[in-house]
Chain A
């Protein structure tokens, strides 16, 4: 039996990087301290906030929602609401939605579900099929990421959100960091900090990542210990992504050299601070308003509208073009 380094009880978690073992009580204390330190260090929330939590129904976002609802009991000025984007992946999202509904009802949180089908006229599965028929070069995760971020920002604002909290953890962040090094996308690395979306555009909702310093394994354990762990289903498109391979390699490195992940996060934070001084050379100019939808954009059109025009699912006036799949 492995014993807790603090009280000698049976351990549930060992951090090799820190050289400590934790029982359930001390793990939850460690987790709470770590997240609160992140929130404080990066000034994520003020005393009065309407916090919209982006929830997918996966373990990380259910853990974040549970954690922030618990924390909000101590902060009278906070209102917590949950937002789920249903991209419409068959056999996947409907299962995650069940877990989402179970948890928001248990916690008594106000929520909203926004669907690709309602907003864009098509589910992600249909969009991927249209893109494939048109020979567009995009990966399923590109459509999903662009449209999801677009709707998260838009819906969070419509819900009266002053800040949008996402459950990105340390593993997610360093995987994205590596992906963007490989793709030479330094403008994306600058935006990989714990707080983003502060650029001066009235339609931007500030985004924060309270689990920025939490390992994926720690947020999974928090979910298991709090009976939040959802039914495990895998996104059918996940294994097609570069992230899938990077995650495997980074996990292997962490096993061989404990502390690798923390070290990569420090590397990211250092590079962000170095790049911020050169922001004018890296970022693509001023933030503008998309010519079609008015949402924040770095070019004349926002990415979501660019994709929709390329897919042919929207006209230049922003109207949805239906029956795209029937006109093969």
Chain B
């Protein structure tokens, strides 16, 4: 399985929590550590994905990428780009 452990801290300080990010129907999955209130957009940029290219769902609900995440959240990404 394609799995990457990414450490991410926006400000200095202790880890506040972990967020799981997954692209639907693929095996691409990330665990992102956060140390301060962080938006989904920031997380996507940190792991090298363009927010323009995904519809985001947080814990099963569609949200804009400006939404903030907290410990234990699961982010599912729906690719916007057509398959072909």
B64 and A12 within 8 A (CB): yes
User: Is B16 positioned at the interface, with any CB of A under 8 Å from its CB?
Assistant: no
Nearest B residue (CB) for A261: B52
**For residue A254, which residues in chain B have a CB less than 8 angstroms away from its CB?**
52
What 1/0 mask marks residues of chain A from 208 to 223 whose CB sits below 8 Å from any chain B CB? 0000000011001100
Cα separation A14 to B66 with both chains bound (whole Å):
8
User: Is A58 positioned at the interface, with any CB of B under 8 Å from its CB?
Assistant: yes
A251 and B52 within 8 A (CB): yes
B82 and A12 within 8 A (CB): no
B50 and A13 within 8 A (CB): no
What 1/0 mask marks residues of chain B from 34 to 72 whose CB sits below 8 Å from any chain A CB? 000000000000000011110101000111111100000
| Count of chain A residues with a beta carbon within 8 Å of a chain B beta carbon | 37
User: Is B80 positioned at the interface, with any CB of A under 8 Å from its CB?
Assistant: yes
- Given A220-B78, A231-B25, A232-B25, A92 contacting B83 (CB threshold 8 A): yes
**For residue A224, which residues in chain B have a CB less than 8 angstroms away from its CB?**
55, 57, 62, 78
A58 and B66 within 8 A (CB): no
User: Is A66 positioned at the interface, with any CB of B under 8 Å from its CB?
Assistant: no
Cα separation A231 to B79 with both chains bound (whole Å):
11
Nearest A residue (CB) for B62: A12
**For residue A247, which residues in chain B have a CB less than 8 angstroms away from its CB?**
81
> What's the dominant secondary structure at chain B's contact region?
loop
Cα separation A1 to B64 with both chains bound (whole Å):
9
**For residue A234, which residues in chain B have a CB less than 8 angstroms away from its CB?**
83-84
B62 and A237 within 8 A (CB): no
A220 and B55 within 8 A (CB): yes
- Given A10-B63, A58-B83, A232 contacting B50 (CB threshold 8 A): no
Nearest B residue (CB) for A59: B82
Nearest B residue (CB) for A250: B52
User: Is B26 positioned at the interface, with any CB of A under 8 Å from its CB?
Assistant: yes
User: Is B15 positioned at the interface, with any CB of A under 8 Å from its CB?
Assistant: no
A237 and B84 within 8 A (CB): yes
**For residue A238, which residues in chain B have a CB less than 8 angstroms away from its CB?**
83-84
B81 and A216 within 8 A (CB): yes
User: Is A36 positioned at the interface, with any CB of B under 8 Å from its CB?
Assistant: no
Nearest A residue (CB) for B79: A232
B64 and A232 within 8 A (CB): no
Cα separation A7 to B25 with both chains bound (whole Å):
34
Residues of B within 8 A of A (CB): 23-26, 50-53, 55, 57, 61-67, 78-84
* Extra contacts besides A10-B63, A251-B50 (11): CB < 8 Å: A10-B61, A11-B64, A13-B64, A56-B84, A59-B82, A217-B80, A221-B62, A224-B62, A232-B24, A232-B83, A234-B84
